Amino acid sequence: MFLYNLTLQAPNAVNQAILGNFSGTRQQELIVSHVSRIELLRPDTTTGKVHSILSHDVFGVIRSLAAFRLTGASKDYIVIGSDSGRIVILEYNPAKNVFEKVHQETFGKSGCRRIVPGQYLAVDPKGRAVMIGVDVGFENPIFACLEVDYSEADQDPTGEALKETEKMLTYYELDLGLNHVIRKWSESVDPKSNMLVAVPGGTDGPSGVLVCSENYITYKHIGAATLTVPIPRRENALENKDRGLLIVSGVVHKMKNSFFLLLQSEEGDLYKVTLDFVNDTVNDIKIKYFDTVSVAAGLCILKSGFLFVASEFGNHSFYQFEKLGDDDDTPEYSSSDFMTNDGEPLDTKVYFKPRPLENLLLVDELTSMAPLTDAKVLNLTDEDTPQIYALCGRGPRSTLRILRHGLEVTEMAVSPLPANPTAVWTTRLTADDPYDQYIIVSFSNATLVLSIGETVEEVTDTGFLASTPTIAVQQLGQDALLQIYPQGIRHIRANKQVTEWRAPGGRAIVRAATNRQQVVIALTGGELVYFEVDDSGSLSESHVRREMSSNVNCLSIQPLPLGRKRVRFLAVGCDDNTVRILSLDSSTCLEPLSMQAISAIPESLVMIDMPDQISEGSLSTLYLNIGLQNGVLLRTVLDQTTGQLSDTRTRFLGARAVRLFEMNMAGNPAVLALSSRPWLSYQLQSRIHLNPLSYEPLEFAASFTSKQCLEGVVAIAGNALKIFTIEKFGQVFNETSVALTYTPRRFVVNPIHKSIAIIETDHNTYSSQEKKKALKALGFDDEDAQEEELDPAVFGHTRAQPGKWASLIRLVNPSTGETTFSLELEQNEAAFSVAVLNFAVDANQMFLAVGTAADVTLAPKSLSSGFIHIYKFVDEGMGLELVHKTPVDEVPHALLHFQGRLLAGVGKALRVYDLGKRKLLRKCESRAIPNCIVTLHNQGGRIVVGDVQESVHYASYLPTENKIVVFADDKAPRWISCSAMIDYDTVAGGDKFGNFFVDRLPKKLSHEIDEDDAGSKSVGKGYLHGAAHKLDLLAHYHVGDILTSLAKTSFVAGGREMILYTSFLGGIGIFIPFQTKEDIDFFQTLEMHMRNEMPPLAGRDHLSYRGYHVPVKGTIDGDICEQYNLLSGDKKRMIAEELDRTPAEIQKKIEDMRIRAI
Amino acid sequence: MDRANLNSQLEHLQSKYVGTGHADTSKYEWGVNQARDTYASYIGHYPMLSYFALAENESIARVKFNITEKMLQPCGPPPERTD
């Protein structure tokens, strides 16, 4: 087995976010890190939308990011601290849309180690040095650190030194003259300090740092008085008063003459902190509640008045400031109120009342599926392609997301028409119009013209012939319009003067292709006539006509580049299964240049110029797209000098003949292809994408540009005219989500009724009943509490104590997305596992088994009792009814249906249960698993068990002896997070360090075990403290994120099977098995060249990254292979020569791998 | 390579890389170093940190703070010296 890894959707959790002018223009941009990927986001301050400009995989762990600017410059550079043991400085090149490495300095070993720096980064605000920064204007740069010296505590057995160990705030100064760092100042701070925020210095402010610690914020600076202010806490009856409050993130915002800080607590509350200062002396710090947003991994405030919140879990949000919280009645606390006479701060708590947003307004959201805890690929709603069902999010913000392959479409208008239209066009009135003015709709016997304004209205005085169907519409020359209809061509001048060209007697126009200067028509019988706009603006017919050998089925003319009068190529699709390229040069007018035979009759042709961003300058490539009647789309490159066709890419789109339409999407020319579902071929970030749209089938379409919508589409579906846009380019999945209450853990699907059963469990949370009880104990009655309830999706559930659990079981109908049943567990029980099954006694009745445990504590591990609940599905699978509850001694972490019984992993015991009247009956047990069973699979009598720490174990059930025997296990320990049985002998799994592996039982051994009914061979003699036999490792690969689900599936109808995985931070990817040795060799060599020619940007060695814990085995990284498209032309050719191919062939092979998958 | 040179090389490593072992490394020292290295690795690998945060239902920053605090004395106070 040899696998090809490809990321379908990169993890979208953000661990770092920075702000800067990375393009070197006045516009502020964001750079976010998705652990191993760096992405440039450009907020549009007029619309409030955030657009992704560039995303680049760096094949390393990004631990810190910082932006810096050289003194006097206007462009920001990016510093990356990663696991590479190197510091890398990147520059964004807006012309080529790439990140370029400016500098790389090696200072230590690779990996995230204690002794190698890289976790924290800070830059001097004037861009002279990098470390943790204190702003000192143009004095020598000073950096501040929080430090603990543990050497004393390590030596003292009495623990006295530990008590005396202090957390120190230390200033380091870089002497620019001597180029030397000195320890300048050190002072002890609160031992619970966790974060420093630099206060602006020099001309902007008093300089110094804010030390954030549990419950307090302290201002410190050399020679300055220490000021302390408590962090206001939420007014909450159920508050745990012993629990401290931490600041988790902060940002300083400098304005013209002042500055303020926004700090965020771990509950998500934002505080505005201001400093009262005279010259360099700070007199007072003030803090007040600002608003509540989701807990952030990074905050950025834009000069234009926006706040970007990179959430640690769930969607990232983009807010607009409506106010700065200056003049509201929220209480403000000041440090001067909290000082005793001797300068020690009071031990007090201050409170505020949380409320919905008042100062901020949500304007945009970026999807993040993190944390993604479980997923399955299923087709529950009977669609063309299967859907991915994923459990995402945490606590009250969690969701069940249903992902469908396709771009998300935003519908803007739908208007019914009197009859079924056959075609639609949009047109401008003059060449200089920025927007479309008319929509022209053609029916089988009439034409309707609609004018686009505030509303869309019918107009009649346009000069268009209304009593005939239309074949084509074009804005011609400077300010004329053209209508082509079966009997002729109507040329409408700006002054409404009409010139007609009539088709010769007995022959009609069947097809036409136009651009702003040139018109080609095909008459019945296959004759082509060519027209051109002459200098006087009138349309003149060429003296040459050409008779094609067969009927003309479609025509396309090359788009006219700006400032040109004529283009050279015409493509003609004939019903003898050929596409011919003709010349439009005046000397060789309509003479054939080349011809390509194809597999079916061409239905539609479109030629577009796509920019070739990577090769030099503004060069573009001319593509001919051919839609065939058998539903296949071909894309070939048309050589601009010879007219030869080469490099054909093929893709089956659907059962219907493919119609193509030229569009403008994502800022570039694009092609909309309509088959049994619409597809879009567009260019984004230097790659051509072909994605389906999540929309109904369309019959005809045209591009639509108006003030409100620059890149829209107007299309016909049945008798309706639809206008829509596409906003989220590059996101191959679109999602619908169902809100959940607590963190979802796992789910199963009832195979008969197709309902989804989800278990949700939150630690440290009051269940709704416990909450009521606790409130009652405090003297609140129910109605009071209801009134004051804040939306938990924003403010979170009330925090309880460790060891308190809230948990529920929910049934969701996948087609409507509604919750049909939910049951909250009582008595501090928490659900950990779930299975759907039937029992041998009554094969038709479906049951749900839920493994729970009561009073669980995480560290040290303990519980009062475990339980297995058995529920019966009622109401067509929409409801549940408790049958009974069986106590067990440990937490049941894994449950599975097994031969009409229940197989349960209870702690380290593997048991088979059967259904009894009062409880489950234990039938057999095995105690051969070392730690804790977390996953279970079975095929026939073979059981695969995943242990939390000791990888997978193979067991077989011996019915004659009613015994489970573990006969094989893995050679290496692995902390299993998920696993899947790929076939009878093979298992794939993921571990908590982000590795993926495939293990297989040797074929011969597998046969021997199966024939061994007595189990003597299976039991054998234990080997190396484990089972008698060992598994072979087939593949090993570091994905870089914890895998949370694995499934063998086929995503394309009739496509090959592959392994789909989801990862914790919201990523979706696949492993495709190779079929030929040639392909393996090819990609292995390509990968090797890519490592050399395009080493990862953060400085990490690609091979050692993919082999983080165990060397890579049997897997090729498709993501680095796809970066081939980003190489310069020279390097592309060089690698191609090494591989004995052309660059186009290599690109095709890379693209084919992706098409095979999705 | 002679013994003196080897020793000086080892000393160089020990001074440069905290946690490099020597002939007299005690069980306690070894354990403390291992725990600190583990915690440092947790903090460096963001997916792992967020995995813990989800299980404990705490913010990532809180988990990071707790782990950093644990690095001070991960295995309790050092044992009494016997010599």
pLDDT of residue A788: 63
Nearest-Cα residue of chain B relative to residue A396:
B57
d(CA A150, CA B33): 12
- Tens of pLDDT, residues A394-436: 999 999 999 998 999 999 989 898 889 999 999 999 988 889 9
Interface of A with B in 742-771 (CB under 8 A): 743, 762-765
Query: Which residue from A569, A577, A570 is spatially nearest to A549, judged by alpha carbons?
Result: A577
Query: Which residue from A1076, A1100, A1087, A1095 is spatially nearest to A1139, judged by alpha carbons?
Result: A1087
* C-alpha dihedral, A79 to A83 to A85 to A86, nearest 10°: -20
| Whether B66 contacts chain A with CB within 8 A | no
Indicate the angle between helix axes A1143-1157 and A1129-1138, nearest 10 degrees: 90
Nearest-Cα residue of chain B relative to residue A765:
B57
* Least Cα separation, residue A1022 to chain B (angstroms): 30
Q: Do B46 and A63 touch (CB under 8 A)?
A: yes
What value does the mean pLDDT take over residues A219-247?
88
Among A637-641, A648-652, B56-60, top mean pLDDT goes to: B56-60
Nearest-Cα residue of chain B relative to residue A857:
B56
* Least Cα separation, residue B2 to chain A (angstroms): 27
Check: CB of residue A654 under 8 Å from CB of residue A675. Answer: yes
Q: Show residues of chain A in contact with B39, CB under 8 Å.
A: 114
| Whether A222 contacts chain B with CB within 8 A | no
Chains A, B: CB contacts within 8 A come to 124
pLDDT of residue A3: 96
Q: Do A1065 and B68 touch (CB under 8 A)?
A: no
* Least Cα separation, residue A337 to chain B (angstroms): 28
| Whether B62 contacts chain A with CB within 8 A | yes
Angle at A298 between CA A295 and CA A300, to 5 degrees: 115
Confidence of residue A890 (pLDDT cuts 50, 70, 90): very high
Q: Which two tokens stand for residue A452?
A: 């686009």
Give the best residue of A14, A195, A312 to mutate against chain B (max B CB count within 10 A): A312
Among A150-154, B65-69, B71-75, top mean pLDDT goes to: B65-69
pLDDT of residue A136: 47
Whether residue A749 has pLDDT greater than 90:
yes
Q: Do A266 and B58 touch (CB under 8 A)?
A: yes
| Whether A1151 contacts chain B with CB within 8 A | no
| Whether A165 contacts chain B with CB within 8 A | yes
Pairing of strands A351-352, A233-234: parallel
Q: Show residues of chain A in contact with B73, CB under 8 Å.
A: 150, 153-154, 162
By Cβ distance, the residue of B40, B72, B81 closest to A165 is B72
* Least Cα separation, residue B72 to chain A (angstroms): 6
pLDDT of residue A203: 80
Confidence of residue A617 (pLDDT cuts 50, 70, 90): very low
Query: Which residue from A740, A698, A737 is spatially nearest to A721, judged by alpha carbons?
Result: A698
d(CA A965, CA A979): 20
A707 burial type by CB count under 10 A (0-12 exposed, 13-18 middle, 19+ buried): exposed
ipTM for the complex shown: 0.91
| Whether A313 contacts chain B with CB within 8 A | yes
| Whether B19 contacts chain A with CB within 8 A | yes
Check: CB of residue A63 under 8 Å from CB of residue A80. Answer: no
Query: Which residue from A870, A866, A960, A847 is spatially nearest to A905, judged by alpha carbons?
Result: A866
d(CA A51, CA A710): 15
pLDDT of residue A131: 54
Q: Show residues of chain A in contact with B20, CB under 8 Å.
A: none
Nearest-Cα residue of chain B relative to residue A800:
B57
pLDDT of residue A388: 94
Q: Do A248 and B62 touch (CB under 8 A)?
A: yes
- Tens of pLDDT, residues A1021-1055: 777 788 889 999 999 999 999 999 999 998 776 67
By Cβ distance, the residue of A119, A154, A1040 closest to B32 is A154
d(CA A373, CA A376): 11
Q: Do A112 and B81 touch (CB under 8 A)?
A: no
| Whether B43 contacts chain A with CB within 8 A | yes
Check: CB of residue A107 under 8 Å from CB of residue A113. Answer: no
Whether residue A135 has pLDDT greater than 50:
no
Tokens 């048991």 identify what position?
A911
| Whether A38 contacts chain B with CB within 8 A | no
Nearest-Cα residue of chain B relative to residue A212:
B65
Confidence of residue A132 (pLDDT cuts 50, 70, 90): very low
Phi and psi at residue A660, to the nearest 5°: -115, 145
Indicate the angle between helix axes A1129-1138 and A1077-1093, nearest 10 degrees: 140
Nearest-Cα residue of chain B relative to residue A117:
B44
Q: Which of A510-514, A841-845, A897-901, B46-50 bottoms out in mean pLDDT, i.e. has the lowest? A: A841-845
* Least Cα separation, residue A803 to chain B (angstroms): 10
What percentage of chain A has pLDDT greater than the value 90?
A: 57
| Whether B53 contacts chain A with CB within 8 A | yes
d(CA B43, CA B32): 17
Confidence of residue B12 (pLDDT cuts 50, 70, 90): confident
SS3 state of residue A149: coil
Phi-psi region of A208 (alpha: psi -120 to 50; beta: other; left: phi over 0): left
Check: CB of residue A515 under 8 Å from CB of residue A533. Answer: no
What value does the mean pLDDT take over residues A492-501?
89
Q: Which two tokens stand for residue A670?
A: 């694009």
d(CA A222, CA A173): 12
- Tens of pLDDT, residues A575-593: 999 999 999 988 888 899 9
pLDDT of residue A1026: 85
Beta bridge partners of A167: A148, A189
Give the best residue of A32, A115, A190, A196 to mutate against chain B (max B CB count within 10 A): A115
Whether residue B81 has pLDDT greater than 80:
no
By Cβ distance, the residue of B46, B59, B79 closest to A157 is B79
Whether residue A260 has pLDDT greater than 90:
yes
